């Protein structure tokens, strides 16, 4: 089947999609957006998190046919219009929260969603928001630092506008 949807603001068409293919597979293998990672294929790790119509979802659990006519935003879509790292992405780099990078795409999308809903989350709010994202490299402290940094920068930017 053919699946047509919007990915990061651009129309996308994927041909020869099998009904059982995941959105993750279509994004990585058919559309050329490899940012979301394939780690567990069970929705347990969060590495494949993308926005689907503005809501974070594990793309490994979404059947490709379910995205027909819908809006998908991946970690690649968090960059600004010029392709420069977005606020959350830059905060993760600056805080040293990127290690092997496998969990990073899902953490970035989930952090972006958190800060869209609460620009100044508490540590408890951050832990809750990221609880579905597993990282096997860190003790999560650098990730927490990155979210706090992104929050501070987002608030400073809003105050200056």
Q: What is the model's pLDDT at position 8?
A: 97
Q: What is the model's pLDDT at position 155?
A: 97
What distance lies between CA 102 and its chain's CA centroid? 12
Tens digit of pLDDT per residue, the chain (161 long)?
A: 999 999 999 999 999 999 889 999 999 999 999 999 999 999 999 999 999 999 999 999 999 999 999 999 999 999 998 999 999 999 999 999 998 999 999 999 999 999 999 999 999 999 999 999 999 887 899 999 999 999 999 999 999 98
Q: What is the model's pLDDT at position 137?
A: 87
Helix (H, G, I), strand (E, B) or coil at 49: strand
> Hey, CA dihedral for 146, 89, 57, 40, is it positive or negative?
negative
Complete edge-to-edge strand list for the sheet that includes strand 49-52: 10-14, 3-7, 71-73, 49-52, 55-58
Q: What is the model's pLDDT at position 7?
A: 98
Would you say 130 and 107 are in contact if contact means Cβ atoms under 8 Å apart? Answer: yes
Calpha distance 142→118 (Å, rounded): 20
Tokens of 111: 């952090």
- Token look-up 């100044």 returns 120
Q: What is the model's pLDDT at position 152?
A: 98
What domains lie within the chain, and their CATH numbers? 3-77 (3.10.20.30), 87-160 (1.10.150.120)
CA distances from 109 to 2, 56, 119, 140 (A): 27, 7, 15, 16
């Amino acid at each position: 089947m053919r699946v047509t949807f919007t990915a990061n603001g651009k129309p996308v068409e994927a041909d020869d999609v099998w009904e059982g293919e995941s959105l993750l597979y279509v994004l990585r293998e058919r559309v050329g957006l490899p940012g979301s990672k394939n780690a567990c294929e069970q929705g347990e790790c969060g590495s494949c998190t993308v926005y689907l119509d503005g809501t974070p979802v594990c793309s490994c659990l979404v059947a490709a046919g379910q995205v027909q006519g819908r809006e998908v935003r991946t970690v690649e879509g968090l960059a600004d219009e010029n392709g420069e790292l977005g606020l959350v992405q830059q905060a993760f780099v600056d805080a040293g929260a990127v290690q092997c990078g496998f969990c990073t795409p899902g953490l970035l999308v989930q952090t972006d969603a958190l800060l869209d809903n609460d620009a100044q989350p508490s540590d408890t709010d951050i832990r809750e928001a990221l609880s579905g994202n597993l990282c096997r490299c860190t003790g999560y402290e650098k990730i927490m630092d990155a979210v706090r940094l992104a929050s501070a920068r987002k608030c400073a930017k809003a105050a200056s506008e």
